[in-house]
């Protein structure tokens, strides 16, 4: 198939991908789902390559997921935490990028608190860059792993489609500050789903319709007939001022309780990118609902999906036939 299947050096934003490219990454991830379910979960595909995980913002699951993905593919994985880096000593982001580049990484995974920061670093380095979340902009691997987990669940239920045509997905929570929401809106709509977003007005970004999502403030209305309910947490760390009166009040209006879930479509699937605030945006009996909640499957798929991304993006470096030349964007 060659590089035309995925003609990007970096993975910065779902907004930069075509539908066929999203599907290609999902298809590529399936082999790794299978591998990860075996006892021996290791291949030497990326043997000899160095991957740097540069996290300028705290993370547990995404960092761990990328680290495991790199190691299972046989790469040398190094983690850089902002808390222990020279960033704290006043080094500029560009200088940090140039430093990482000089260490000849073969791929750099970056998380940063500022929207656009990962793209800025990518423009200064010579190797593929994977965005592990930049501010309130995008978190592309999260949207891809969500799509992968959802597709697995739908197939388990006997639905054969590759994409999500006809599916109604309701995303509820802090849409304003959420990069996960933005990436998922773009990815889910590209794959054919109708996306509803639900939040109190203060947490709903202006012009969200232009991204292809239908906005709601009434959670009950947003749930009616939904096939998938994706809950997001309140990102208190990104809030500049008070956006909601209290967590208790938030739960009253926007918490996914068992009673609320009953308003959604029959057997509606429950998702959450984590970390969850149980008892705020989601109740435990919903989060742990067997057969309906795929929250832990999302984590599992995350490793496989990131393995696929690291594999695809390093093919050029590794000289994989068909991936050495061609147009890169």
Partner 1 sequence: MKQLRPVTITGGKLVTASGVAEGNLRFAEGEIVSLGEQPQDGDAIVDARGALVVPGLVDLGVFDVDKPAFHFGGITRAGLMPDRSPPLDLPSRVRFVAQSGKPDFWVHPFAAATVGLEGQQLAELALMREAGAKAVATGRDWIADSGVMLRLLQYAAMLDLTVVSHAEDGGLAGRAAASAGEMATRLGLPSAPAEAEALAIARDLALAELAGARLHFRQVTTRAGLDLVRAAKARGLKITAGVTPAHFMLSDLALGGYRTFARLSPPLRREEDRLAVVDAIGDGTIDVVSSGHDPRGPEDKNLPFIDAAPGMAGAETLLPMVLTLVRDGVIDMPRAFDLLASAPARLLGVKAGLLESGYEADIALVDPVRPWVVSSAKMTAAAGNTPFDKQPVEGRVTALWKGGVAVEL
Q: Which residues bind partner 1 (CB under 8 A)?
A: 15, 92-94, 112, 114-117, 119-120, 134-138, 179, 182, 205-208, 210-211, 240-241
The dihedral sign for the CA sequence 318, 322, 327, 329: negative
Judged by beta carbon, residue 135 or residue 200, the one nearer partner 1 is: 135
- 212/188 Cα distance (integer angstroms): 10
**Residue 117 Cβ, how far from partner 1 at the closest point, in Å?**
4
**Residue 91 Cβ, how far from partner 1 at the closest point, in Å?**
12
- 307/305 Cα distance (integer angstroms): 5
Judged by beta carbon, residue 137 or residue 306, the one nearer partner 1 is: 137
Judged by beta carbon, residue 240 or residue 327, the one nearer partner 1 is: 240
- 157/192 Cα distance (integer angstroms): 19
Residue ranges of the alpha helices (H) in the chain? 19-36, 61-72, 93-102, 117-122, 140-156, 179-190, 219-223, 247-254, 258-261, 284-287, 295-313, 315-318
**For the chain, how far is it from start to end, CA to CA, in angstroms?**
17
Judged by beta carbon, residue 46 or residue 110, the one nearer partner 1 is: 110
**Residue 114 Cβ, how far from partner 1 at the closest point, in Å?**
3
HEC sequence for 91-114: CCHHHHHHHHHHCCCCEEEEEECC
**Residue 179 Cβ, how far from partner 1 at the closest point, in Å?**
6
DSSP 8-class letter at 125: -
Judged by beta carbon, residue 240 or residue 325, the one nearer partner 1 is: 240
**Residue 15 Cβ, how far from partner 1 at the closest point, in Å?**
7
């Amino acid at each position: 198939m060659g590089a035309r299947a995925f003609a990007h050096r970096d993975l910065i934003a779902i907004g930069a991908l075509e539908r066929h490219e999203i599907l290609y990454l999902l298809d590529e991830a399936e082999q790794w789902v299978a591998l990860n379910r075996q006892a021996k979960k290791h291949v030497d595909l990326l043997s000899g390559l160095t991957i740097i995980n540069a996290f300028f913002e705290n993370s547990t699951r995404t960092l761990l997921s990328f680290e495991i993905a790199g190691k299972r593919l046989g790469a040398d994985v190094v983690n850089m935490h902002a808390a222990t880096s020279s960033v704290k000593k006043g080094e500029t982001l560009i200088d940090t990028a140039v430093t990482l580049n000089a260490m000849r990484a073969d791929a750099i995974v970056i998380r940063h608190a500022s929207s656009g920061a990962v793209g800025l670093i990518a423009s200064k380095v010579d190797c593929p860059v994977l965005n592990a979340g930049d501010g309130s902009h995008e978190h592309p691997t999260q949207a891809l792993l969500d799509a992968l987990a959802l597709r697995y669940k739908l197939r388990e239920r006997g639905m054969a489609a590759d994409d999500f045509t006809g599916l109604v997905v309701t995303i509820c929570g802090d849409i304003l500050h959420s990069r996960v929401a933005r990436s998922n809106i773009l990815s889910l709509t590209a794959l054919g789903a109708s996306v509803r977003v639900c939040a109190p007005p203060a947490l709903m970004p202006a012009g969200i319709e232009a991204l292809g999502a239908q906005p709601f403030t009434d959670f009950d209305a947003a749930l009616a007939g939904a096939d998938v309910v994706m809950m997001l947490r309140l990102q208190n760390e990104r809030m500049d001022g008070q956006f909601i009166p209290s967590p208790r009040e938030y739960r009253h209006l926007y918490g996914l309780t068992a009673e609320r879930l009953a308003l959604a479509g029959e057997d509606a699937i429950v998702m959450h990118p984590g970390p969850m605030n149980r008892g705020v945006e989601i109740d435990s009996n919903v989060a742990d609902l067997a057969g309906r909640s795929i929250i832990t499957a999302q984590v599992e798929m995350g490793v496989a999906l990131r393995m696929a991304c690291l594999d695809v993006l390093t093919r050029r470096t590794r000289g994989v036939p068909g991936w050495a030349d061609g147009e890169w964007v």
